[in-house]
Structures are given as C-alpha cells and as structure tokens.
Amino acid sequence: MDISDLRTFETVARLGSMNRASSELNTVQSNVTARIRRLEYELATQLFTRHRNGVTLTEAGRRLVPYAHRAPRLLEEARRAVRETSSPSGTLTLGSLETTAAHRLSPILAQYGRRFPEVDLVLRTATNAQLLADVLEDRVEGAFVCGPVADRRLASETMFAEEEGFRLSSDQISQSELTVFRPPSQTLCWHPLSEGSPMSRSSKPLSVVSGLLGILALVQTFAQPARAIELKVLSSKALAEFLPEVARGYEVGTGNRVSITFGTSGEIVDMIERGELADIVVLPPSTLERLTGLGKLTADRVELATASVGLGWRADISRPEISTPDELRRVLLDASALAYPDPATGSASAVQFARVLRDLGIADEVRLKTQLVSSNAELGMLLLQGRVDFVVQMVSELNAIGAVEIIATLPRELHATTTYAAGYGLITSDLGPAHAFIQYLRSPTAVASLRAHGLHAASTP
C-alpha cells in the first residue's frame, strides 16, 4: 500500500471532492482519480460513492479514514527513529480557529520555522468542535481552541487570554458623533487608560467629554438586562474583523447579544439553502437578491460597505509597483508563485481576481503558478514559509493575516471591488432589533471602524 495513495485518499475524504483534492495536492485531477482507483483495487472494495457534487465515503472508506490519518505520522516517526537526529523534522500538523491563526500564531509559527527548518508545518482551521474532534481522531497533533476544554480524554493548557473592551481614542470622541445605548438596568462607566495598561475596576458615571485626554474604555457593570435578545448574523469573511468589533459596542450599549458566523459567500449560501436561519445576512447584493428569490430572505436590504481586492507581501520583499493594469500584469507574470482562495468556495475575492486575470489576458499563465487555498490561515502559512511571492485577498482580510506586512490594492481601472449589504432573514416577524443593529452599523463610530479595517462605507441611498 503506497503512502502517497493514503495521503490522497485522506485529502479526498476530507474535502469531499476529487477536484478540490487535486488543487490542495497541487496535481491534476487524473492523478488523484488514478491513486484512488489503485487503492480501491488493492483493497478490493469501493471507498467512495461518486455523485454530481463530489464524492462521499462508503462504509469501507469510513473505516479506512483513521488509518489513513495515522499512517503518514507513523512512517515519519520511523524515519526519524532511523536517522537518530536530535533536531526535529518531518510534518507537524496543527489546528486552530481562523481568528487565532491570523492574529496570534503567525509570528510564533514563523519563529518555530526558523528554529526548526526541517519541520514541515501544516495548519488547518476549523470550528472549535471540529478541532477537538480532529485531535481525538489523530488528524492533527494539537489544536488552538477556545477553552476551557472539558473532555477528559484531552490534555489542555491555557496559551492566550483575551481581554474584551470597547475602546475609543480621544480623536474619535472629539471628531465624531458618539452614540451610547444604555438599558435601564445597567450603568455605563468610563476611565482613562494608559497605553497597554490593564483596565481598572474603579469607575465613574459616564460624562459627555470633548477632547478627553488618553484612551477611553466604555465598560458595563455586571447587571443583566431584563429582556435581552440574541441576534443571529451570517456574514461574508470580508467583514470578519469589522463586525465583531462593532457588535461588542452594540452589546455593551443594549444588553443584547450578537452571534456571528462567517464564511465565503458560497459557504453562507449553502448554509441558508440547507435551512440555516438568521436575523441578518451580509453578502453581495446580487447574492441577497438570489436568496430572496428562493424565499429565504425578505426583499429589504441595506448596503453597508465595499471591499477591494489587494496583494499582500512580507516586509522583506521589495514592494512592486502595481498602480496601473500594465504594472500589475508584469508583476503577475514575473512572480514565481502566488496564492489566493479557491473560487470553488464562493470567495468574492477569488471571483474578482479570476475576472481580473481574464481581463489582463494572462489567466492561463498565472494558473500554472497559483496555489488555491480554503482559508486565510493557509495564505499566511504559505507566505511565512516563502512558498509564494505574495497572496491575493480582500484588503480587509489581508489586514488580519499576521504574515502580511505590505498591502496594495489592485488598480482602480480594474474595478476589483465588492459591495456588501445586509438583508433580513425570516427567523422572526419582528424585524425591529435587526433593523436597529443595521442602523448602528451605519453610525459614525461604525464607519470609522470600517475604514480602520480596510473597508469603505457604502454610499447612502
């Protein structure tokens, strides 16, 4: 049994598609198909059921999965034992939440890679529940998850502690309209914070102060609102940094909760078509219109933001000039390798960039040196490891990838922008709370946050 055949099997099983597996393995689909058929012939059983949308595992295939996970690791351990080297080598597969990978892990993994160059780091992103399952089923050596971890089969250690707070600079207070929401059962407090200092527990009643020196933190006492509600939001990843930040301010002011699930446009559409309900859906207007036609959303929508496609580099690479289409064409043709999201995932940036390549007349040339990925964490890893010259993604998402240190937007003439609007779901007939949150997303404070995260406010109708 060939170990490469098992790796191919594991990839197809995980992605549910021969085509996506070929992209991840950087090979043609016919090679993937041939390896699967050879494995099925050797085992004298069918491992996958083929259908129009991809493949699904047979019962025999499901039984093979855990062995396919363990086989490469056991082989690598055997190689290390034979070499008897004191320096780590081989493949280290880790799992992480995507936000943790983007904000926390990039510098840590970069340092590890420099210290142990013989180790091939692989990072997979998933939900908390999926990551825990991956550890238990030996798909990853370890995972960074939100704690605490209650499963006694797993050993865990606290690595990071997140501090939550809603902070405004003195410039934002003096130059913008400040809107504060306070339910009757709660008290809002303020106090100045020095740079990097922990939040003091002392507090004063909130005063309206113009030009307040230092940094303000709006904090909430622990009293709970009498009738708090939870808003469920499904949104494109392009707003993954902006929405949680603004939602925290809304939660502090109203006592309501905002639960946000992010994905590519294609992933969000799939969720809704499978029956997922939400109060608010944030996607491109054309996608919202299609969902409305399917009876999944109301006809009302509010445009919120526009996002631009950009290129991201490491700081140690001299930044090429791409201010014109001709300059961009030259940079793309001169690159040895680049990476961007797989268009099959429904990524808006991938769809836009694929159109740009066609408009520039270089789609075939660039395709030969492109690595397609399924997450921003993978983009960051490829950049950190020097396996690509640059990555392509929405500027708002490049800002959240720790490995990206230089960002440039595509030339304006190429119109590589996407508008995002908020639509109303059918989870309830009372649209009042959803409408209030959407209006809060258009407030001056929210618009300032948009700009800070590489987005632009949509024009007011």
Whether the predicted pLDDT of 172 surpasses 90: no
C-alpha to C-alpha distance for 81 and 89, rounded to whole angstroms: 11
Beta-bridged to residue 290, according to DSSP, are: none
Cα–Cα distance for residue pair 90/239, rounded to 1 Å: 36
According to the model, what pLDDT value does residue 186 have?
A: 39
Q: Does the pLDDT of residue 48 top 50, yes or no?
A: yes
Across 314-365, the runs of DSSP E, i.e. the strands, are: 338-341
Of the two residues 123 and 87, the one the predictor is more confident about is 123
At 148, list the tokens. 């605490």
State the pLDDT at residue 96.
Answer: 87
Q: For residue 259, what pLDDT band results from cuts at 50, 70 and 90?
A: very high
For residue range 90-138, what is the model confidence (pLDDT) as tens digits?
A: 788 888 887 777 667 777 877 787 788 778 888 888 887 888 888 888 8
Higher pLDDT, 428 or 240: 240
Interaxial angle between packed helices 285-293 and 265-273, expressed in degrees from 0 to 180 and rounded to the nearest 10: 10
Q: Is 241:247 a contact under the CB 8 Å cutoff?
A: no
- Banded model confidence at residue 416, pLDDT cuts 50, 70, 90: confident
Lowest mean pLDDT among 69-78, 204-213, 370-379, 421-430: 204-213
**Residue (of 331, 223, 314, 288) closest to 424 by Cα position:** 288
- For residue 227, the model assigns a pLDDT of 62
Model pTM? 0.55
- Average pLDDT score, the chain: 79
Share of the chain above pLDDT 70, in %: 82
The alpha carbon dihedral of 439, 256, 251, 420 has a sign of negative
CB 56 within 8 A of CB 46: no
Name residue, tokens 């990839």: 11
pLDDT band at 347 (very low <50, low <70, confident <90, very high): confident
Question: Which range, of 104-108, 225-229, 251-255, 366-370, averages the lowest pLDDT?
Answer: 225-229
Domains of the chain: 1-83 (1.10.10.10), 85-151 (3.40.190.10), 166-220 (no CATH), 230-305+421-453 (3.40.190.10), 307-417 (3.40.190.10)
Q: Torsion angle of alpha carbons 82, 85, 90, 95, nearest 10°? A: 120
